[in-house]
Amino acid sequence: MHDFLGKVAVITGGASGIGRALGERAVAEGMKVVLADVEESPLALAAAELGSGGAPVLPVVTDVTSTAEVESLAERAFAEYGQVNLLCNNAGVFCAGTAWDSSDDDWRWVFDVNVFGIANCLRSFIPRMIESGEQGYVVNTSSMAGLTSMPFVAVYHASKHAVVAMSECLYHELSFKGADIRVSVLCPEAVSTNINGAERNRPASRSATGANNEERQVVNDAIDEAMADAVSATAIAERTFAALRAERFYVLPGDDPWVHLAHRRMAGLRDRENPTFMSPDEVPTLPVDVKGIG
C-alpha cells in the first residue's frame, strides 16, 4: 500500500503507546482513523488530540477479548466510513513469571488479549475487507519476544510467538484466496510505552494471584530500567508505515541486539542446538548480516 490519503485505519490499543503513535502517523498520512481501546478516558483524550486539526478520528471503547464488542467495532467502522483499509491489531498486555508459577488467570488474561483479541478482529474485519473489494492491509503487533525466548516471561513470549504464527498463516491464506490484502507482523524491541503498567486493565475475573514473586519483580525492574534507552513509539510507527509502503512482512529493528538474538535462535534451530540464553545487554558484535532489516 503506497497511498494512504483518504483511506481508513482501525487501530486497537489506540489510546497510548504504539497504538496512539500509529494513529498520529495515520492522521499525518491523511487517513480517517478509528481508535479503539478499553480505557475510555485516555481514548477520548487521544481521539480529541489526534483530531484537533480537523482529521476525522472516531473513538470506540472496545475490549478486544469480547467478540461482541469487536463485532460492534467493525460495524461502527464500516457504517461510518464504508471501508477499512488498514487494520492494526495492536492491543496487548504483559505479565512476567515462570511457566509453572504463572497462574491459570495469568495465562488466560494474556492470551485473551494478545492472541484471541487478534483472532476476534480477524473474524470481524477480514470478511468485510474482502467483500468491500478495497485494497487492504493488516498489521499484527507481536514483539521481538515473538522471535526469541527468555526466562521468567513464558506467558508473554508464548503469546507473541503465537501472533507471529497467526500472521504468517494469515499471509499465506490471503495469498491463496487471491485477496488484495497484505499482512505485516510488527516485532519491536524495547519501546517507551506503559506496557509495564498493563495490570491496570486486568479484569477482576483474571485475578493477579502470586503477582509479587521474586521473578516477576526482577523482570519488572529490568523493564523499567530499559525504558531509559527505549526507542520511541513514534519511531515504531514510522518504521511500520515504511514497511507498509514496501509491503514488507517482518517489521523488525535494524542492527539491534534483539535481532542478533533472533538470528542466534534461528541458527540454533538449524544446527539442532539446545536453547541458549543471552540478555540483549550481553550481545557482542556478531558477524550477522542484517542488511535490509528495519
The set of catalytic residues is 156
Q: CA–CA separation, 230 vs 245, rounded Å? A: 25
By the 8 A CB rule, do 132 and 85 touch?
no
148: its cell numbers: 526469541
* Closest by CA position to 70, among listed 27, 22, 127: 127
DSSP string, 195-242: GGGGGGG--TTS--TTTTSHHHHHHHHHHHHHGGGPBPHHHHHHHHHH
Q: CA–CA separation, 153 vs 107, rounded Å? A: 11
Q: How many CB atoms lie within 10 A of CB 136?
A: 25
79: its cell numbers: 457504517
